[in-house]
Structure 1
């Protein structure tokens, strides 16, 4: 049963916000759902606050089954980041259930609306930590109350442990959770007051490196990814792609496509031409037999992209201002520098894919997506169906990184399924992924500063220009109203304690599709800001670590920065001589309220940078799973290092040049550095971890290369 409630601003749900039902997981099962409770969007992106979800969406679901298993339906998708394991630990902690009896599954839009915020932004564990604890604790107390009734004792006399409720002074008098559910009749009683949460000193799961809940399925091939999803009688779909950026379909005729082997349907609309066939190869081969006319599109060259992505002095949106920068920027010793970062691909291993089955009464979509709710809505719109008739089933994702927000594959499959009456699977090719997806936008940065005689920074300014990150996924009016993309200037503000500082962000409209990429603008902005900080340190004649420490405030953020900087430096051997032929560089950043400091140890081999060791100290608050947190650090460093050393999308004659990994090289295992991770955080709540380790990587490497070679590299990828 369910009652409508007004949206809440607090974390804690009311009794009437719990959705209770019997039989959801089978006869005699108890199912409980909790609406997502999030902090509202406020202040600035830098503060790491979590966007609000619709407070009426039941996005956390437990099922207690008769065999004592507890099934947790999660609204967030697992794409290798380990969130299902961390969330399971949080749930098991309050529910007092054995680890081996807790199952985790993706929620589907039919079971309970998935989180409309999707899975992105390092916000999953942060946003669900408190709601999940409260939900699990509430379910525990509901079971306690019912067990007390069945045993004829006071609820306060029962102890919950190991999935069992036993009488404190009579331990032989007990009921397992499954027994409580099986014997229950009538209505479940929801606690009148929020239940007490377990104190940290009693944690059994939180803070421990528990084994990943998805590991066995992935190791044994049982975990299903969107590209692998199959149904009996299914077809494969393919859609024609434009020859150049900006080209649109002017006219389309079937030609001889329908006569090709295996072809079942040729479907054309005002802006698409698609084929459904018995195999993927047949579908793609038939595309060559369509007769298509395209508009000319963009005759864009690489130089055009860089020319358009250029800071215009004094323009843009003011996103940070403290003191009077114009008044003080011309005093003392003055420095300026320009930094650039290029277009970059997501390069995830699994291309875009979706399987759709359209039937008169309902539509089912299986997709590798970070945004189940959004994809469902877009498929319903494309089919002109009621959204409630569309069910989206999230699968495992072969990498996300912001690329899995796209609905194209699902829409293409849905159209073909409706036309053929059979399930249709669309899986993009690698060339489609590289040439027709969207990219991390290019950026340009102009930094200026003035130094006092004491070597302290008096004034500093960061002007940044970037293509769209978030705005490209929003209605056009948003960009016109806000002026600068808040995703693009993530990490751009100056977080050191300097008296006069300001940041301006400029939006650049490009004919190249750009959007979200892991960390949004974090890597590019931190590369510029921390590279410039290193330049200032050398200009002041000071050690780069000491220079940073000198510019930290006495507030909480300053203390946290100091903790990670000193920890990373000590572990890396900062201040001692590096091995022969090597040098060290340091950089730091704060993102999603997580503070990171990194030291890179580099050399030059055959004229190319080589990174041998990375030391990373992270303050991410309460660590739920140390092994999972360490994996996120290692993965973030590897991805950012690959971007820093080799990745670059280039444009020639209006087309993306790369079409596969052979012309878009990634960091190899041989090139992977040794990584030391230090988790030095404090606090009673977790902070974001998926993206913050990306921030300082490129700057730390560039700073080390300067120390080694005397050459300041201000553009990515780093080339000597």
Structure 2
């Protein structure tokens, strides 16, 4: 038998190497920034717009991803978090395709950080695009290693074997068999090959591209799925932590007071910067916390008007992130059209607040958490309790929604500090007011657009100025900010996707007293709202149909062809131009994000100043759709969440505090107001792109454009309201 066993690990593009690919080595980063920041920045912006963020450098052998049990069940360990977006199902389909097994033979599990650590996070809609080829390759590698072991045991050549559902058999004698489960026990003796085996062409896919049931459905339906709030550990106690009422509030004095004498209290912590209680029940912990004597410095009592003024185009330093032609000169010719748009701060408003359990011991710590960034959480916990990172293990569990907020480390860090003080496992599970008011929010934005139109309705030039609070910068190394100059999370969706000869996009960043950060799609929704609303305004100024106006300005390339197909498919399905019920109108918007094209057409009516969205027709083109039903589900979820943000959601600041502390003060879209949603999926053999966020981009503009079509009034501020 040959010594060749198929691939040794293939080299991956990691966070260091992606900079080198773009033409700047790590050793020359600072020099590159100094000598050629603008060209480098524009190249990085283009790359980030396509990919969603820095790549994951998950280099791990097959036995880190897979465990095969004696009964031939394959355990697939994934470093990406499942928070309702269905990535565990899609990734399982990818792995099962090259393993040549059915999805029913596979069990999908969250990988802890000791087994397989994701150096980035589950965010930016890049899970499928980032892991598609690597997971195909690692599954194919494992399959071929198993084939070689089967050939050795059966005294045959690898080509003499058939494979079906994880069972190898001799072609000459099918009774001679070896199962994956029987062969996997020898995995420790295998040597990984230099190159991965050849992968199947998409034309031969049997599992990828099928709308298979979600792998997490049975556990969630039967109540067996474990979320952060559900974790129970032997001897576990419950923690409550003192939190400021104001944005800049700081603890300046803490005294246990009567807390220690309250029923069930095990430990009271009153440090200089941290105060909390550990008790036998959650209720006892919160009741005792109220008995502590705490003194706070409220900080500056900020008002809403001050926050909004800070997020304005022209405030601070503008960074050009896109430029073609000579927009300044071109804007002086033709008919000038101008408009500006604003979006407010918003909560993530997921079902499950932040929750974590920590068990801190002198030489080892374990944490169970609903987290989007297990590896980053490991570092934060280690730092907080004075341990090395390799002493801390993070066990990710299911998330009851994330939308970027569950990159937040505080619940796990607090649980670890309390556990270290109490000497027992401790759970910290925030209540809704804590979750709303003690974390970061979606930042407010301000967009200004100017364009010049020719006499025949062509856009001669377009200038886009986009201002935002921070989105990605608070979570990234400082060098990234130096290189990029602008927060790539904030300007996601800000670059122009239409064929316009003279364009410029400038990003303005505000560092606010209110903590701001990731939200579903990052800056995508705000920027797409502005651009697609403005495209509608330009169409009206040119006296052209909004659909025809967009088709007229598509780029003459493959992406433009895909956009045109998506636009025309959506228009045909929504019966664009056909008669509608009295008072109803259609609005159109399109988005391009991380390689995914989404077109949405909203049917809207307005009665007594109240906007009602009756139906949304959507077309999604994610390249190869791994699970078309999953694509539809994500599109429906994004549209529903986007309509809620479009019509209802807003966080205001008064006297230094965020005003809404629960859902009675922060309404969401109700089922009774949710529209009918029809989704068409345009799948192809192109590399798959993300679906968790792109469909949230176009919906505010689609609704606002429909409102204009129905009433003749332009609404340029979210949530949409008539004056």
Is TM more than 0.5 here?
yes
Instruction: Return the offset for 1:475.
Output: 5.1
Residue number in structure 2 paired with 1:390: 392
- Indicate if the aligned counterparts of 2:58 and 2:118 stay in contact, CA closer than 8 A: no
Q: Who is 1:266 aligned against?
A: 268
The structural deviation recorded for 1:57 is: 5.3
Counterparts of 1:532-681 in structure 2, within 5 Å, are 532-681=534-683
Alignment check: 8 A CA contact 1:69 1:101 kept: yes
Residues 241, 289 of structure 2: 8 Å contact kept:
yes
Count of residues in correspondence between the two structures: 691
Q: Are 1:113 and 2:116 an aligned pair? A: yes
Of 239, 243, 258, the residue aligned with 2:245 is 243
Q: Does the CA contact (< 8 Å) of 2:65 and 2:116 recur in 1?
A: no
Q: What residue is the counterpart of 1:161 in the other structure?
A: 164
CA contact (8 A) 1:64 1:177 kept: yes
Distance 1:64 1:185, change over 3 A: closer
Relative to structure 1, the CA distance from residue 547 to residue 699 in structure 2 (aligned partners, 3 Å threshold; closer, same or farther) is same
Shift of residue 278, structure 1, vs aligned partner? 1.2
1:399-478 equivalences in 2 (<5 Å): 399-474=401-476
Residue 481 of structure 2 corresponds to residue 484 of structure 1 = no
SS of structure 1 residue aligned to 2:405: coil
Partners of 2:162 and 2:391 in 1: CA distance: 44
Q: Measured at CA, do residues 313 and 384 of structure 1 come closer, stay the same or move farther in structure 2, by a change above 3 Å?
A: closer
What SS does structure 2 have at the residue aligned with 1:438? Answer: coil
Q: Secondary structure at the match of 1:40?
A: helix
Q: Evaluate the alpha carbon distance shift between residue 637 and residue 506 of structure 1 in structure 2; reply closer, same or farther with a 3 A threshold.
A: same
Matches within 5 A, 1:295-314: 295-312=297-314
Query: Counterpart in 2 of 1:171?
Result: 174
Displacement after TM superposition at 1:17 (Å): 3.3
Question: 1:498 & 1:55 partners in 2: Cα distance?
Answer: 39
Aligned to 2:9: 17
Name the CA distance, whole Å, in 1 between partners of 2:420 and 2:143: 45
Mapping of residues 47-126 of structure 1, within 5 Å: 47-48=50-51, 51-54=54-57, 56=59, 61-110=65-114, 112-126=115-129
What is the TM-score when the length of structure 2 is the normalising length? 0.92
| Maintained 8 Å contact 2:8/2:195 | no
Residues 679 and 241 of structure 1, relative CA distance in 2, 3 Å threshold = same
Partner of 1:3: none
User: How far, CA to CA, are the matches of 2:119 and 2:148 in structure 1?
Assistant: 33
Q: 1:200 aligned to 189, 202, 206, which one? A: 202
Q: CA contact under 8 A between 2:616 and 2:676: conserved in structure 1?
A: yes
Could you tell me how far 1:191 is from its partner in structure 2?
A: 4.6
Q: Name which of structure 1's ranges 263-272 and 204-213 shifts more when overlaid on structure 2.
A: 263-272
CA distance in 1, matches of 2:440, 2:108: 32
Unmatched runs of 5 consecutive residues or more in structure 2: 23-43
Where 1:552 maps in the other structure, the secondary structure is coil
What SS does the aligned partner of 2:97 have? Answer: helix
**What TM-score do the two structures reach when normalised by structure 1?**
0.93
Deviates more, 1:341-350 or 1:672-681: 672-681
Cα 1:674–1:531 change in 2 (3 A) is same
The alignment status of 1:132 with 2:135, answered yes or no, reads: yes
In 1, Cα distance between the equivalents of 2:348 and 2:61?
A: 32
Q: Give deviations 1:411-461, integer Å, cap 9, x for gaps.
A: 111111111111100001100111111100000111111110011110111
Please tell me whether the aligned partners of residues 257 and 291 of structure 2 are also in contact (alpha carbons under 8 angstroms). yes
Instruction: Tell me the secondary structure at the aligned position of residue 377 of structure 1.
Output: helix
Q: Distance in 2 between matches of 1:527 and 1:615?
A: 17
- Where 1:391 maps in the other structure, the secondary structure is strand
For residues 55 and 400 of structure 1, the distance between their equivalents in structure 2, rounded to whole angstroms, comes to 22
Q: CA deviation at 1:683?
A: 2.7
Q: CA RMSD in A?
A: 2.0
Higher helix share: 2
CA contact (8 A) 1:444 1:464 kept: yes
**Could you say if the C-alpha distance between residues 221 and 557 of structure 1 is closer, same or farther in structure 2, counting changes exceeding 3 Å?**
same
Conservation of the 8 A alpha-carbon contact between 2:256 and 2:292: yes
2:477, 2:293 → 1: CA distance? Answer: 33
| Native 8 Å contact 1:298 1:511 kept in 2 | no
Q: 1:624 to 1:476 in 2, by over 3 A?
A: closer
Unaligned runs of 5+ in 1: 1-12, 19-33
Could you tell me how far 1:116 is from its partner in structure 2? Answer: 1.2
Alignment partner of 1:404: what SS? helix
In structure 2, C-alpha distance between the alignment counterparts of 1:424 and 1:185, rounded to whole Å: 38
Q: How far, CA to CA, are the matches of 1:509 and 1:314 in structure 2?
A: 10
Aligned partners of 1:346 and 1:58: how far apart in 2? 36
Does the Cα contact within 8 Å between 1:35 and 1:57 map onto a contact in 2?
no
Separation of aligned partners in 2, 1:676 and 1:120: 26
CA contact (8 A) 1:602 1:611 kept: yes
SS in 2 for 1:171: coil
1:576 is paired with a residue whose SS is coil
CA 1:642 to 1:572, structure 2 compared with 1: closer, same or farther past 3 Å? same
Q: CA deviation at 1:270?
A: 2.3
| Rounded Cα–Cα distance in structure 2 between residues aligned with 1:89 and 1:483 | 39
